[in-house]
């Protein structure tokens, strides 16, 4: 029987991006997924709960999902920074990660570990399987926890009632929809999807009601 994850959400302005802090009961180490533009909120929570990040996971390299990487690495240099192999360039290129065009160039330290489809991230006692689901960004990945229920940390792929934008540079709507249908909609209907923006949803709810991908 898998242990239920403890999941705390921190919403960073101005893009209302969700950062997830994930840990197992009784553990002092944690995962930080997609640290956003208000890293001080993340650091405050970690200190308050006496949690230490074992790894920093990025679903993709857009600025609102990587802006907190530098601050977290500064305070927790031993935390492994992990991103998909086809997304690594966005960490250090402010044009590629969409921040320079907004007039606020953001970069991140380079990744410590690059992952691809089928890899397992094993940190803080938590095992996550990696899926490649490009389309919103060229190397977007999601992380799947095989529990009861399963949990997906999905970045900007599938939202409650919506999907990730694919009109950005290097976006691809066809790949995005294919990835959702073949890799997320094939998971059990009670699979929880923790998205990069907005509320938690389930694969079953989206299969029945999402107007963008049926």
CA 195 remoteness from chain centre: 8
- Provide the whole-model pTM: 0.97
Within a domain: 161 = yes
How many structural domains comprise the chain? 1
Mean pLDDT of 5-17: 96
How do residues 135-162 score in pLDDT, each as one tens digit? 999 999 999 999 999 999 999 999 999 9
Contact call for residues 87 and 141 (beta carbons, < 8 A): yes
Domain that holds residue 76: 6-209
Within a domain: 40 = yes
Within a domain: 1 = no
Within a domain: 39 = yes
Contact call for residues 141 and 154 (beta carbons, < 8 A): no
What CA–CA distance (Å, rounded) separates 116 from 130? 6
Query: 173 is written with which tokens?
Result: 């709507």
Within a domain: 214 = no
Percent of the chain with pLDDT over 70: 99
Within a domain: 64 = yes
CATH of the domain at 70: 3.60.15.10
What CA–CA distance (Å, rounded) separates 163 from 49? 33
pLDDT of residue 214: 83
pLDDT of residue 3: 75
């Amino acid at each position: 029987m898998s242990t239920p994850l403890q999941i705390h959400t921190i919403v960073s302005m101005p893009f209302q991006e969700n950062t997830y802090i994930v840990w197992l009961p009784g553990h002092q180490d944690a995962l930080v997924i997609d640290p956003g533009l208000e890293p001080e909120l993340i650091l405050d929570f970690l200190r308050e709960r006496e949690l230490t990040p074992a790894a920093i996971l990025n679903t993709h390299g857009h600025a609102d999902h990587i802006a907190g990487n530098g601050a977290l690495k500064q305070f927790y240099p031993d935390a492994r920074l992990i991103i998909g192999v086809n997304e690594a360039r966005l960490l250090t290129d402010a044009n590629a990660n969409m921040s320079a065009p907004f007039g606020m160039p953001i970069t991140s330290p380079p990744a410590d570990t690059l992952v691809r489809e089928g890899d397992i991230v094993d940190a803080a006692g938590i095992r996550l399987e990696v899926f490649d689901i490009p389309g919103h960004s060229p190397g977007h990945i999601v992380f799947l926890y095989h529990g009861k229920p399963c949990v997906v940390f999905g970045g900007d792929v599938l939202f409650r009632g919506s999907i990730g934008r694919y009109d950005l540079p290097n976006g691809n709507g066809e790949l995005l929809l294919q990835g959702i249908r073949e890799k997320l909609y094939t998971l059990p209907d009670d699979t929880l999807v923790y998205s990069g923006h907005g509320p938690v949803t389930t694969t079953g709810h989206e299969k029945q009601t999402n107007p963008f991908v049926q």
